Amino acid sequence: MDRRIKFRHLQTFIEVARQKSVGKAADVLTITQPAVTRTIRELEDYLGATLFEREGRGIRISPFGDVFLKHAGESIAAVRRGVDSIARAKHSVGPPLRIGALPTASASLMPGAIAEFLKAGTGSRATIVTGENRWLLDALRMGELDLVVGRLAAAERMTGLHFEPLYSEDVVFVVRSGHPLLRRASFSLAEIVNYTVLLPTPGSVIRPFVDRLLLTNGIGELANVVETVSDSFGRAFVEGHDAIWIISRGVVASEIDAARFGVLDVDTRETRGAVGLTTRSGEPPSLALSILMATIRDRVRQTRRNL
């Protein structure tokens, strides 16, 4: 590697690529915008290539930048692994595990799996984060996460990643118990336009499935829409209002089983998708991560047997 290229060059480049904005990258890195611009220009000078191109009022990564991004991410991930190794050597504890979980897995699968993992006594501290699928996969690719638990993403989002399917689930239209639509003898999907509808955000993995389902049924623009990937907000809002929440079944499985939420009679078979474990390709998991993945698989098998 060119000795002039420093860690700060890679870190700044990756953040600008992720945010697609110099200003947002500066906020995340807590440095000034001129400092970000100067660092990117230095890196471009060292490489002899343009890494970003203007696109309207924003920027996009160039073909050269796209090639460099994979290698920069691998370098950052290697440094993080080195730091973790030193920490383990100093404190004689297991490696920290950083897990990204989509709301469907965070609500239904991960609590039991983590409880079982802690019984194994690996000494590893587990950090669980949730967010949009796109953000989680980017963080996994860059070495900021060790595992993502959730739906299989589109092929273009899976470069450098490996997916292990565990089960499949569909999307449901849920409302609070006592909702007017549950009292109807018959229900037409077109009636949802009369209510506030909670949709997954555009960056979420299930949004394309939901959009396609709505368009297939002749539903275009909805008048009252709230976009969210927050399962806690979704539950609170649906419980307190006559809203309709379009969400993966696993997120609200316990509310459905307890009859706190009702499921509208909508054919959502076309929204079914695989849920599983996503890791970086070609990188063997640590012992602690292997144990956690095994507990997740076991938890899925137990749940499937109890259905």
Contact 268, 171 (CB under 8 A): yes
Band the pLDDT of 95: cuts 50, 70, 90: confident
Q: Residue 125 above 60 pLDDT? A: yes
Residue bearing tokens 């292997």: 290
**CATH 1.10.10.10: which residues of the chain?**
7-71
For residue 87, give the DSSP letter: H
Please report the pLDDT score of residue 294 as a whole number.
94
Cβ–Cβ contacts within 10 Å for residue 189, how many?
A: 17
Counting every residue written for the chain, the total comes to 307
- Beta-bridged to residue 226, according to DSSP, are 198
Axis-axis angle for helices 110-119, 287-306 (nearest 10): 130
Helix (H) or strand (E) holding 215: helix 207-216
Nearest to 198 by CA among 236, 265, 231, 246: 246
Cβ–Cβ contacts within 10 Å for residue 123, how many?
A: 12
Largest CA distance in the chain: 72
Contact 25, 83 (CB under 8 A): no
Whole-model pTM: value is 0.63
Average pLDDT in the 60-70 region?
89
Region of 131 (left: φ > 0; alpha: ψ -120 to 50; beta: rest) is left
Q: How far apart are CA 100 and CA 205, in angstroms?
A: 14
More confident residue, 287 or 298: 298
- 171-271: CATH topology is D-Maltodextrin-Binding Protein; domain 2 (3.40.190)
Band the pLDDT of 227: cuts 50, 70, 90: very high
> C-alpha dihedral over 279, 133, 122, 85, to 10 degrees?
60
Q: Please, what CATH class does the domain formed by 93-168+274-306 belong to?
A: alpha beta
More confident residue, 87 or 244: 244
C-alpha distances out from residue 193 to 154, 233, 244, Å: 29, 21, 10
Q: How far apart are CA 50 and CA 31, in angstroms?
A: 22
**CATH 3.40.190.10: which residues of the chain?**
93-168+274-306, 171-271
Q: Residue 193 above 70 pLDDT? A: yes
Pick the CATH number of 7-71 from 1.10.1060.10, 1.10.287.980, 3.40.1280.10, 1.10.10.10: 1.10.10.10
Please report the pLDDT score of residue 226 as a whole number.
95
